[in-house]
Each structure stands twice: as C-alpha cells, then as structure tokens.
Amino acid sequence: MAGRPPVPLEVRFWKKVDKRGMDDCWLWTGGPFGDGYGGFQLRVAGTHRCVGAHRVAYALANGIEPPAGARNGLWVLHSCNTRKCCNPRHLYLGTHRDNMDDMIVSGNRCRIRCVAEVAPTYIPKKMPPAGTPYWNWLIAHAEDRRKRTG
C-alpha cells in the first residue's frame, strides 16, 4: 500500500501564510526562529533544513530555487521591517550592507543604538564568558560599570 503523495512545496508553504491585501504584510503563521523570523522546513541537498520563510516566499514568487542561505552575497530583505512578513511585494534582494543601511535608516537597530547610548567610549578589558552573546554582555557590563562609578 502506497503512502500519500507528497504535498507540493508551494501548497505546504502558502497555507502557513496569512494573506491579506496586496499591500499588507502577509504574516507567517508557522513556527518562528528565535529571532522572530518565520522558519520553514525545507529539503536541501538531501537533508531537512529550516530556512527563513521570507526567503522561501521570495524564491517561490520569483520562480527560483528556495535558498538555504545568502546566495551570491545577496540576502532577502524586508521593505516593511516586519520579520514575519512573506508578502513578495515587500521583499527584495540586497547585500548585507544594504540590510545594515536599511536598519539604521528605519531606526530598527536596537543593539547598535543601545551600545552607543550605554557605552559610547567604553571598551572592556576582558571578554564575556563562553557562550554569552557579545552585545548583550557588553551592554550589561557597561551598565553595571556605570552604576558602580556613578
């Protein structure tokens, strides 16, 4: 007895997107990554891999193979700054530099802003414990030092 035929990628993907108006954000309703981006299980080179839902949306809308990571130095960026958005009209290709410039222009740059406000001239003499995210540690370390020194 044969199993069910596999569900096509497009069907499996788009049923997890809340499509609204053409200019509205189409939010990913599937599972998220820890950073708030949508995550989609994809078979890449014979193995299952979780990739950004917005990457898959861009690839499907433009008739290209869904990327597993940055392709040719190009990333899939959001013009709406909504991490869960999968509306192809809000997605475009750009470099990492384009992404950083957009982050600064849109004010969506918590780590950079927080470090600049908390520790504008402070450079620690020691490194964070292994496994600790550097920026989080730097902000906490600088705030603690500022409290101690008044």
Residue 3 lies in a domain: no
User: Tens digits of per-residue pLDDT, 92-103?
Assistant: 998 888 887 877
One domain for residues 104 and 115: no
Region for 80 from its dihedrals, namely left if φ exceeds 0, alpha if ψ lies in -120 to 50, beta otherwise: alpha
Distance CA 56, CA 52 (A): 7
One domain for residues 22 and 90: yes
User: Tens digits of per-residue pLDDT, 48-102?
Assistant: 888 899 999 999 999 887 665 566 778 899 999 899 999 999 999 988 888 878 7
One domain for residues 83 and 126: no
Residue 2 lies in a domain: no
One domain for residues 20 and 88: yes
One domain for residues 95 and 136: no
Q: How many domains does the chain have?
A: 2
One domain for residues 122 and 49: no
One domain for residues 104 and 38: yes
27 has pLDDT over 60: yes
Residue 1 lies in a domain: no
Q: Is the dihedral of CA 89, 90, 91, 95 positive or negative?
A: positive
Residue 44 lies in a domain: yes
Instruction: Return the number of other C-beta atoms located less than 10 Å from residue 31's C-beta.
Output: 12
126 has pLDDT over 50: yes
pTM, two decimals, is 0.67
One domain for residues 28 and 100: yes
Residues in the chain: 150
CB within 8 A of 117, min separation 6: which ones?
Answer: none
Torsion on CA atoms 78, 48, 30, 62, rounded to nearest 10: 40
Task: Name the β-bridge partners of 17.
Answer: 28
Structure tokens at 131: 């496994």
138 is in which domain, residue-wise? 111-149
**In terms of Cα–Cα distance, which of 62, 26, 61, 55 is closest to 39?**
55
One domain for residues 141 and 77: no
